[in-house]
Amino acid sequence: MMDVKQQLEQVKQEATKAVAGVTTLVELADVKAKYLGRKGTLNGLMRLMKDIPDAEKPAFGKAVNDVKQFVSGKVEETRHAIEQAIIDAKLAKERIDVTLPGKQFTVGTRHIMTQIVEEIEDLLIGMGYQVMEGPEVETDENNFEKLNLPKDHPARDMQDTFYITEDTLLRTHTSPVQVRTMLANGGNKPIKIICPGKVYRRDDDDATHSHQFMQIEGLVVDETTSMADLKGTLLAIANQVFGEGRDIRLRPSFFPFTEPSVEVDVSCHNCNGSGCNICKGTGWIEILGAGMVHNNVLEASGYDSTKYRGFAFGIGVERLAMLKYGINDIRDFYTNDMRFNRQFRKR
Ligand code: DAH
């Protein structure tokens, strides 16, 4: 009997030590199984019962159960401690320092090109124009042929073209949208459109040349429109872009798709016409090309030139912005330096 008691005491100490040495829940489960499991050490001791005199059996049984309870208490204590340690570690790791400064998100700016295009769109929509778009990959026919620029026409040299195939190209101007719109209208409906968009020329980029830039095309076709309407429209655009009080003048020029053709100057917004470095001392700055739609252009797209007439204009958007804001490098529009872009933030 003494032996058995000693054995029990030894098991108790061993188990207590084993539980104390555990650091993870997995290890704890192993130790628990080893001492308290169905086939564990303590149940093994119960099997010694048969060798114990009957009178001592109850006391022995109780002693084993006491040890079981003791060990199981230790196991629970340790489980609690380990679980608490896991939670503490997690809390420490995921702690948020609410006093740290927040991350700065920088807000972009609407690009100055977008702003100018939308300003002109707003004005012209108010005058009854529709805003159209056309593809940047065009046919030679729409970009040149139907605009009175046949293949051997010398004026094609003015526009260095990115050809994709013999008859496909990157549009060199927004004028092909005139052709597309006239064709879509079947030769018998009046037209009043503007078309803003990107155009491409085979230029080497420098301060005043860019292989990609923006234009806004305008086209009005009906039975009565005249050069006076054109002039009034252009004056409204000049006042919108450069501020109230501007004047414009038309100088004779040449474009294959208009006849007569004009180059349009606006009175200098900087010196009000007295002469400065922006207008190179002349008081005037050239802002766009325009004219009355050439009969060949009307006819090529299905409009009877004895019945219909039209005017058209083409605005270089970068040029307007450069003149208005005194920007002297066209590349500034496309390198997206936020310090440049932010200068045009409205609010
Ligand atoms: N397409 C011309 C260019 O890119 C600009 C232009 C001039 C357009 C006169 C027009 C116009 O509609 O009437 O150089």
- Which range of residues forms the domain containing residue 140? 112-344
> Over 80: is that where the pLDDT of 157 sits?
no
Q: 175 CB less than 6 Å from ligand 1? A: yes
> Looking at the structure, do residues 156 and 15 belong to the same domain, yes or no?
no
113 lines ligand 1 (CB under 6 A): no
Q: Which two tokens stand for residue 290?
A: 């325009």
Overall domain count for the chain: 2
Q: Are residues 69 and 137 in the same domain?
A: no
Secondary structure (3-state) at 207:
coil
Q: How far apart are CA 320 and CA 119, in angstroms?
A: 12
Residue 182 has pLDDT above 60, yes or no: yes
Least confident of 37-51, 167-181, 329-343: 37-51
Tokens 């380990």 found at: 82
Residue 47 binned pLDDT confidence (cut-offs 50, 70, 90): confident
Closest residue by Cα to atom 12, ligand 1, is 313
Question: Which residues have C-beta within 8 Å of that of residue 91, sequence separation ≥ 6?
Answer: none
User: What's the CA angle centered on 174, arms 156 and 346, to 5 degrees?
Assistant: 135
What's the gap in Å between 187 CA and the centre of ligand 1? 21
Residue of minimum CA distance from atom 13 in ligand 1: 290
Query: CA 310, CA 319: separation in Å to the nearest integer?
Result: 25
Do the beta carbons of residue 186 and residue 156 sit within 8 Å? Answer: no
Of the pLDDT bands very low, low, confident and very high (cuts 50, 70, 90), residue 271 is: very high
- 33 assigned to some structural domain: yes
- 79 and 150: one domain? no
Domain of residue 333, CATH code: 3.30.930.10
Residue 152 pLDDT class (50, 70, 90 cuts): confident
* pTM score of the predicted model: 0.72
Name the residue with tokens 């001791």. 45
For a mutational test of ligand 1's pocket, the pick from 313, 315, 319, 320, i.e. the residue with the most ligand atoms closer than 8 A to its C-beta, is 313
C-alpha angle 227-173-199 in degrees, rounded to nearest 5 = 140
Q: How far does the centroid of ligand 1 lie from the alpha carbon of residue 116, in Å?
A: 18
At residue 2, does pLDDT exceed 60? no
Both tokens assigned to 115 = 């702003």
Tokens, residue 298:
């009307």
The CA dihedral of 80, 84, 86, 88, to the nearest 10 degrees, is -170
End of a domain among 31, 65, 93? 93
Which phi and psi (to 5°) does residue 80 adopt? -60, -45
Q: Which residues pair with 250 in a beta bridge?
A: 264
Backbone angles phi, psi at 176, to 5 degrees: -60, -20
